[in-house]
């Protein structure tokens, strides 16, 4: 889930002059410490959001509707912010529409939906470990399809990731201790997340990450408006009070949804954007692997989701494999994780 202080050739084509001047200014004075703070804060908010989303799902909001609420809310906030601060950056060329549609539907709408299906059936931290194997799929794709050179570390990363997932699933316990549908959804989310990065690698050639993500959320919101029409949604349920696993404390459901949109999507997104000029993509990607750790700790403290020793060990092995996969592409190739903001899947 990376970012970069360097830009791909032609990256600033079509970007507003104001934004170009801003990027040129900040790129001259990178502050790695600030980049680490922003990336860790973003991962922390995403980690908390996993538990908040679990509470919303347990309150009765189906994954389709929760995804639609998050995508639509984030799209509205980003469009309004850009319209107020830099309206010229909202212009879209016709030739961009197919890419934005794929980016939004597969990379955002389906990634988030599958993640919600997964955390409805699996502990939050385990679902994230499965989903974050996306860099391994990316490395395999660029080797098999693009014929790019990869380091031998790829095979070590693949072996570690598969071995770790075996431990996480505890497959020796009657075929596995995890829900099969949840595991399938988490792995499918990883494939969608890999698609997000690969498509985003092309998208950032002609559009800055802020507007690219804005329009991807718009595309995702339109997709869910068709797939889960709003007239079928009883908005009255948002006023209901639901338990939040803090003693007898309850909160209106709309408050959980507001958290998911603002502090679980928009805020960490802006933090990830703020880190762009300060950290290279591989470094940011490695730092972001702490997200499952944050998510597991929060879920343990808040909703008492306890992992077994084997699952913790497996998660460490998988994250080690992911870290190696981040550096698997040869030095002459493009960065493994292009300068694309995180997809806000968690």
- The two structure tokens encoding residue 13: 């084509």
Question: What is the model's pLDDT at position 289?
Answer: 78
Residue 55 included in any domain: yes
Rg (the chain; Cα; Å): 19
Would you say 122 and 183 are in contact if contact means Cβ atoms under 8 Å apart?
yes
Phi, psi at residue 54, to the nearest 5°? -60, -40
Residue 232 included in any domain: yes
Instruction: Provide the number of structural domains found in the chain.
Output: 1
Rounded to the nearest 10 degrees, how much is the dihedral formed by the CA atoms of 46, 42, 130, 123?
A: -30
Tens of pLDDT, residues 190-219: 999 888 888 877 766 677 788 888 999 999
Strand partners, 242: 251
Question: What is the model's pLDDT at position 114?
Answer: 96
Its pTM stands at 0.82
Would you say 342 and 1 are in contact if contact means Cβ atoms under 8 Å apart?
yes
Q: What percent of the chain has pLDDT over 90?
A: 36
Question: What is the model's pLDDT at position 11?
Answer: 36
Residue 71 included in any domain: yes
Q: How far apart are CA 186 and CA 192, in angstroms?
A: 10
Angle between helices 281-288 and 309-326 (to 10 degrees): 170
Residue 13 has pLDDT above 50, yes or no: no
Residue 14 has pLDDT above 60, yes or no: no
Residue 18 included in any domain: no
Residue 11 included in any domain: no
Residue 175 included in any domain: yes
Q: How far apart are CA 288 and CA 238, in angstroms?
A: 32
Residue 72, domain extent: 31-326
Tens of pLDDT, residues 104-154: 999 899 999 999 999 999 999 899 989 888 888 888 888 888 887 777 887
Residue 228 included in any domain: yes
Residue 16 included in any domain: no
């Amino acid at each position: 889930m990376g970012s970069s202080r360097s830009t791909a050739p032609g990256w600033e084509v079509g970007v507003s002059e104001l934004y170009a001047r801003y990027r040129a200014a900040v790129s001259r004075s990178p502050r790695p410490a600030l980049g680490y703070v922003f990336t860790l804060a973003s991962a922390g908010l995403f980690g908390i959001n996993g538990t908040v989303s679990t509470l919303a799902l347990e309150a009765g909001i189906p994954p389709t509707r929760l995804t639609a609420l998050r995508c639509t809310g984030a799209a509205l906030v980003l469009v309004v912010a850009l319209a107020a601060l830099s309206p010229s950056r909202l212009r879209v060329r016709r030739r961009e529409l197919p890419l934005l549609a794929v980016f939004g539907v597969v990379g955002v709408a389906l990634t988030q939906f599958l993640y919600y299906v997964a955390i409805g059936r699996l502990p939050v931290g385990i679902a994230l470990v499965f989903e974050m194997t996306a860099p391994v799929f990316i490395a395999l794709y660029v080797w098999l399809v693009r014929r790019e050179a990869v380091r031998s570390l790829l095979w070590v990363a693949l072996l570690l990731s598969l071995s770790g997932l075996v431990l996480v699933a505890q497959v020796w316990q009657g075929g596995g201790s995890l829900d099969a549908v949840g595991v399938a959804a988490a792995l499918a989310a990883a494939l969608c997340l890999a698609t997000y990065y690969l498509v985003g690698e092309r998208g950032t050639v002609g559009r800055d990450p802020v507007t690219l993500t804005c329009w991807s959320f718009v595309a995702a919101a339109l997709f869910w408006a068709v797939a889960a029409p709003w007239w079928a949604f009883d908005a009255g349920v948002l006023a209901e009070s639901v338990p939040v696993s803090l003693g007898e404390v309850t909160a209106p459901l709309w408050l959980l949804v507001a958290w998911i949109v603002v502090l679980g999507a928009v805020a960490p997104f802006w933090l990830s954007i703020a880190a762009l000029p300060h950290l290279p993509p591989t470094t940011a990607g490695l730092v972001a692997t702490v997200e499952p750790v944050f998510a597991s700790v929060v879920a343990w403290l808040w909703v008492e989701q306890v992992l077994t020793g084997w699952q913790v060990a497996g998660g460490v092995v998988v994250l080690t494999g992911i870290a190696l996969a981040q550096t698997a592409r040869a030095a002459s190739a493009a960065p493994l994780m292009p300068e694309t903001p995180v997809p806000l899947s968690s």
